[in-house]
Amino acid sequence: MSQQLVWFRNDLRIKDNPALFHACQAEQAVTAIYIATPHQWQKHDDAAVKIDFWRRNLFELQQDLAKLNIQLHFFEEDSYQQIPDLIATIFQQWQINQLYFNQEYQANEQQRDQAVMERCQKIGLSYQHYHDQLLLPPASLRTKAGTPFKVFTPFSKHARRHLLNSFHIYPAPEPCKKTTVDKLKHQCDLREISWPTVSKSLYNFWPAGEQKAIARLAEFFQQPIRSYQNNRNLPAVLGTSRLSPYLASGIISIRQCWQASEQYGEVNTDIHIWQNELLWREFYKHTLIDYPQVSRHKPWKIQTEQIEWRHDGEQLSAWQQGKTGFPLIDAAMRQLLTQGWMHNRLRMIVAMFLTKHLLIDWRLGERWFMQHLIDGDLAANNGGWQWCASTGTDAVPYFRIFNPVTQSQRFDPKGTFIRHYLPELAHLSDKEIHLPNVKNKPENYPEPIVDLKVCRIRALSAFKKLKQNVN
């Protein structure tokens, strides 16, 4: 029996899945595959907690697909290079009529998919691919001069106009014809894949499954969205959607999120600001596509390659482990280490501290985040780091440097967040906790590793030197 094949990658859901929807419209049996590539994950610095999140969501997806009479089969290969041969074998052994998949936009994934499509063409096999990770297709948003947008505000305005006319949600497909296939040589059980071992303590905070993601979206629009403008910058308050892990792994689509914001009612300030967060995600993905060098560890502003970054292993390690002597920085980094996630305001503060106060290369911070974030997304992570380092598109001006102490006083005024992650400082007053002094600092908490004023001058000097060299 000929059948359709759906190749799942970063789109682990049933609803609003273009590839799955179209495969099920052919009125043939449908089968599905997932190809694990642990060696490739390691090369991409994918966090163990994120990979385990994939595992848990794949189990849920397998159950959901079974209700549609679709079997999800698992394979494991060392790298992307083996996948074209594997796809060709699957086509021949399972009598596949056509391959369906949703596009990915990182450089390595583009090369992988191009190699698969070339192999399909060579042996006369059909395939269909679809745009999925974006609200609007690549190259659909251009300036009047026909060039990619370099600044977020005009990009977002242009995107909002386009979304009024070209927005579509795919419904969940109806059950397909039942089918069975023979087990192949490289096929394995989900449990047999080389998954990393992580603490199960995160499972309650990041529950797996498409229905959990949809429920979290609904919960966000029941209450937190109403105070989003005021609460989104407060790390001690659950004022954000906490949907980023589900978006990063395709458990829910960005289109579903946008639709929910439009169905909420009048687009007030809270809604508009949250939509802008979705559009920042969109902006960075379009930037990744239009400027592929950013997925190859290159700055968007090429001239910033000349910045003389410092190489200080001790200070880098202190930042990574949350031992800088600046409480908000340390609490944020410990949140990353224990939860596999960090509040967005804190991501900006710790990134600017590393790149400006420590003057350490942003790529080291970008990599550390990818190695620990459950929501690690190349485009968003790279865009955020280059924004803070003043090396990216529409980045913060180099002379705007967040002071971690004043940021702490502003966004965690009572030290609630700090006390949660730094219990050794819990006894300090609301005033003292933002920067303990020698008298009230406990012995097990470090002194500040740098002088903020001196480091600010050093950073300004490094960037001014760059500007002079360019001129």
> What residue ranges do the domains of the chain occupy?
1-131, 138-166+211-290, 302-470
* Burial of 178 (C-beta count, 10 Å sphere; 0-12/13-18/19+): exposed
Q: Do the domains 138-166+211-290 and 1-131 match in fold?
A: no
3-state DSSP percent of the chain in helix, strand and coil, to 5: 50, 5, 40
Topology of the domain comprising 302-470: DNA Cyclobutane Dipyrimidine Photolyase, subunit A; domain 3 (1.10.579)
Of 389, 391, 396, the closest CA to residue 357 belongs to 389
Phi, psi of 127 (to 5 degrees): -150, 155
Residue 421, CA distances (Å) to 137, 177, 337 in order: 41, 52, 11
Token readout for 139 is 């190259």
* Across 12-22, average pLDDT: 98
Q: Given a cut of 50, is residue 253 above it in pLDDT? A: yes
* Across 307-318, average pLDDT: 96
pLDDT of residue 297: 87
CATH number for 138-166+211-290: choose from 3.40.710.10, 1.25.40.80, 3.40.50.300, 3.30.70.150. Answer: 1.25.40.80
- Catalytic, 7? Answer no
Token readout for 419 is 């006390």
| Mean of the per-residue pLDDT values of the chain | 94
Topology of the domain comprising 1-131: Rossmann fold (3.40.50)
pLDDT of residue 179: 84
Q: Which of 77, 219, 277, 424 is catalytic?
A: 277
Q: Given a cut of 70, is residue 470 above it in pLDDT? A: no
Q: Using one digit for the tens of pLDDT, what is the confidence trace for 446-458?
A: 999 999 999 999 9
Q: Given a cut of 70, is residue 467 above it in pLDDT? A: no
Q: Using one digit for the tens of pLDDT, what is the confidence trace for 204-242?
A: 999 999 999 999 999 999 989 999 999 999 999 999 999
pLDDT of residue 471: 39
Of 30, 225, 7, the closest CA to residue 116 belongs to 7
Q: Using one digit for the tens of pLDDT, what is the confidence trace for 340-386?
A: 999 999 999 999 999 999 999 999 999 999 999 999 999 999 999 99
Of 318, 308, 230, 325, the closest CA to residue 270 belongs to 230
- Catalytic, 258? Answer no
Q: Which of 206, 362, 368, 387 is catalytic?
A: 362
Q: Which of 7, 94, 274, 280 is catalytic?
A: 280
Q: Tell me how many degrees the CA angle 253-255-258 measures, rounded to the nearest 5.
A: 120
- Catalytic, 206? Answer no
Token readout for 155 is 């990009």
Q: Which of 344, 403, 424, 432 is catalytic?
A: 344
Q: Given a cut of 70, is residue 437 above it in pLDDT? A: yes
